Amino acid sequence: MSDQSSGLSKAQEIYSNRSRRARELKAEGRKLIGYPCVYVPVEMLTALDLIPYRACGDIREPVTEADRALPGSFCAVMRSCLDCALKGKNDFLDGMVAIHSSDPQEKTARVWESYTDHPYFHFIDMPVTVRPEAVEYFTSQLDDFRKTLEAFAGRELSADRLKQAIDYHNRQRGLVRQLYDLTKTSPPAISGTEILQVVKAVMGLPVAEGNDLLTEVIGEARDRTDRPEKKPARLLLWGSTLDDADVMQVFEAKANVVMDDSCGGVRAYRADVKLTADPLEDLARYYLNEITCARTFRQASPGETSKAYTKDLQSRFGYLDDIIREWNINGAIMLLVRYCDPFAFEMPALKDYFESLGLPSTYIEYDYTTGALAPLRTRVEAFLETIA
């Protein structure tokens, strides 16, 4: 990678070949641990000088090897992730950490562990509510994770080391929020496609290196004169996984995507970990409460047996109201990867919430392949015509 290239160019280069930088780090003697979901507490890896590497699928790679272990009617992202692993595309990884963010990931994790030979593998169970007892249980799960990590790394994960790692990652979260702040203007200072490339690049780098890249990109984007073209639609994308620039470009052909609330976008960065005397419990509280994924049930009044639909909608989606107003969003697309049941079940309620705000929205499903891009483009263009 050229030292003379700009921050955006560096990010695009890393995005286009993430494994190259990972292999360079491996050659330097660093150890990389893969994780397929943003619910995995990456701070614990960083604290032991292990590099967290977000393992992704590939819409350009036909799934063949994963067919040996997973059915066709299964989460397309997890099938693709496993397929890449079975084909040796992530053979630079020293280990893998999976978490029960969904039943497909839990089932895939068992297959992943059996079919691959990573020196280290750990699965974290995770509650689906934000009740106080859920925080206690999740903290105990992270303590088990700590013990296996310490055995693998050969060193103790002290509270001080963990707090320092949390500070580094909190800084990264703040920088990603600054990146998204650049889309508040009209036209935005940076495109949704560029942000996707930057965030995906950062998810494969040591945290300090990722922070340096984000700082460079933010400074460059603020000063650039070649801003993205201003378009009538300012879109919010909401869904599970959006990690491919070709998919994002389908939306940006005739719109500005100013907010991407997905697992490849702002979702893992919207808030900071609040530190107390117990950083492990702080992480448990943060990952349960602050990452707004469909897999977690957020009841308006925990413990009550009566239903309050409007209040529950506000509890689950209320954070979107501020985003819609601050980013001047005039349309939302609910994007579903086929067979992603947690997000599919959430769509009707989210549609109701958008209607309560008077925001036009539509639901689009695709199958995480390049063959889905053409019909996806047709659906997007039809929706944009209704809000132009």
> Tokens representing 178?
């600054």
pLDDT tens-place string over residues 344-366: 999 999 999 999 999 999 999 99
Selection from 200, 61, 204, 36 nearest residue 118 by Cα: 36
Q: Token digits for 260?
A: 């991407």
DSSP code at position 67: G
**CA proximity to 14, closest of 245, 220, 176:** 245
Q: Which is nearest to 244 in space by CA: 113, 53, 60?
A: 60
- The 10s digit of each residue's pLDDT in 45-91 is 999 999 999 999 999 999 999 999 999 999 999 999 999 999 999 99
**Strand 331-337 and strand 256-261: pairing?**
unpaired
The answer to whether residue 5 scores a pLDDT higher than 80 is: no
Q: What pLDDT does 2 receive?
A: 44
Could you write out the DSSP letters of every residue in 86-106? HTTTTTT-SEEEEE-SSHHHH
Are 52 and 45 within 8 A, CB to CB?
yes
Characterise 180 by phi-psi region: left (phi > 0), alpha (psi -120 to 50), beta (else).
Answer: alpha
Architecture of domain 30-158 in this structure: 3-Layer(aba) Sandwich (3.40)
CB 213 within 8 A of CB 11: yes
Task: Return the structure tokens found at 38.
Answer: 């943003």
Q: What would the two tokens of residue 114 be? A: 């059996």
Which three-class secondary structure state does DSSP give residue 72? coil
Give domain limits for the chain.
30-158
* pLDDT for 4 beyond 60: no
33 strand-pairing partners = 52, 95
Buried b or exposed e, range 161-186, using 16+ CB within 10 angstroms = bbbebbebbbbbbebbeebbbbbeee
Q: What is the rounded average pLDDT of the residues 30-51?
A: 98
Residues 162, 164: Cα–Cα separation, whole Å:
5
| pLDDT, greater one: 308 or 42 | 42
Tokens of residue 52, six digits = 């967290």
Please tell me the predicted confidence (pLDDT) of residue 355.
97
Q: What is the pLDDT of residues 6-15, one digit of tens each?
A: 999 999 999 9
pLDDT at 302: 62
Give every strand in the sheet of 234-239, ordered side by side.
Answer: 256-261, 234-239, 331-337, 361-366
CA distance 140 to 370: 41
Contact, 257 vs 251, CB < 8 A? Answer: yes
Q: Confirm if 119 and 94 have CB atoms less than 8 A apart.
A: yes
Put residue 99 in one of left, alpha, beta given phi > 0 → left and psi -120 to 50 → alpha: beta
**302-331, pLDDT tens digit by residue?**
656 667 888 889 989 999 999 999 999 999
pLDDT of 80 reads 97
Is 50 exceeded by the pLDDT of residue 247?
Answer: yes
* pLDDT tens sequence across 154-204: 999 999 999 999 999 999 999 999 999 999 999 999 999 999 999 999 999
With 0-12 CB in 10 A as exposed, 13-18 as middle and 19+ as buried, what is 289? middle
On average, the pLDDT of the chain sits at 95
Considering only residues 301 and 92, tell me which one the structure prediction assigns the higher pLDDT. Answer: 92
pTM of the model: 0.96
